[in-house]
Structure 1
Amino acid sequence: MRAIPRIVVGVDGSPASEQALQWAVDYAEAVGGTIDAIAAWEYPAFYGWAGQGVPNLDVVNPEELAGKTLSETVTRVVGSAPAVQISERVMPGNAARALLEAAEGAALLVVGSRGLGGFAGVLLGSVSRHLTEHAPCPVVVVRERHAASE
């Protein structure tokens, strides 16, 4: 019996991650695979600087924000009835570490070329570059397509 390919995709709400999710869904549909859509969260590094301390988690909860962004992105990209099974998972830690962990045993890891932290014009972001060098499975980096008016 042939195993069902598990495709892991990183989702942060950026246009590049939306396109990576769409690519992953199309691929999963073609090969009979499933999708693990992963969003990572961590406290911003600047908390604690200049005596600010940790934010009030009743107001700003990075885990909830990541989960909401993930769910909204999946719905926006594939609708409420996707053609393939999609599981959504929010993981603590930086994106590269979370995606490497999620990719253990996966058939494929798919990411956008640059996420929300990327600099305009950079062809490959730090997370996607790290993943191509360290992932335990093949990696597809989907380059962001720009609108014709740009």
Structure 2
Amino acid sequence: MDAKPVVVGVDGGPDSLKALAWAADYASTVGAPVIAIAAVETPAVVGPYAMAGWVDPEVLEDRARTMLADSVRDTLGDEAQVEQTVIRGHPAEAIVTASQDARLVVVGSRGWGGFRGLLMGSVSQHVVSHAHSPVVVLPRHSEDA
């Protein structure tokens, strides 16, 4: 059994849920633990209108924890053995940092943001370029686009 975990980035979108399922399946075949990561990026807001759109970072983290727990439960079931981690910061950097101790990193090709039709989103591109471990990027099937 390899103690190094399989790390998977989860944002609640369909590609990340596919990545979560794939990561759990792979981890079970190699006897590795799974760490699901959600990142909360708190926007820097300055100026007189800053308070108008401001959301407490604690609220954002709570929402991310709920999304992550729901994603794991809905994708893998109630009995899934997955460590769930919410990190403050940019999603790509959070995943790259976690890759330092990982056996493998798994991400979906596209997240919630960005432009339709791109092969990979900015997070998956950054992770592929900077990860300290092998990376699997699950493709979006044409019928999902």
Q: What is the TM-score of this pair, normalised by structure 1?
A: 0.86
Shift of 1:97: 0.8
CA distance 1:126–1:50, shift in 2 (3 Å): farther
Partner of 1:31: 30
How many matched pairs? 144
Q: What's the RMSD between the two structures over aligned residues?
A: 2.1
Counterpart amino acid of 1:23?
W
Q: What is the TM-score of this pair, normalised by structure 2?
A: 0.89
Task: Pick the aligned partner of 2:132 from 124, 130, 136.
Answer: 136
Task: Pick the aligned partner of 1:93 from 89, 92, 98.
Answer: 89
Shift of 1:137: 0.2
Counterpart amino acid of 1:145?
H
CA distance 1:26–1:62, shift in 2 (3 Å): same
Partner of 2:108: 112
Percent of aligned pairs sharing the same letter: 41
Q: Secondary structure at the match of 2:7?
A: strand
Counterpart amino acid of 1:125?
G
Shift of 1:113: 0.3
Partner of 1:68: 66
Long gaps (5+) in structure 2 = none
Contact conserved, 2:7 with 2:35, CA < 8 A, in 1? yes
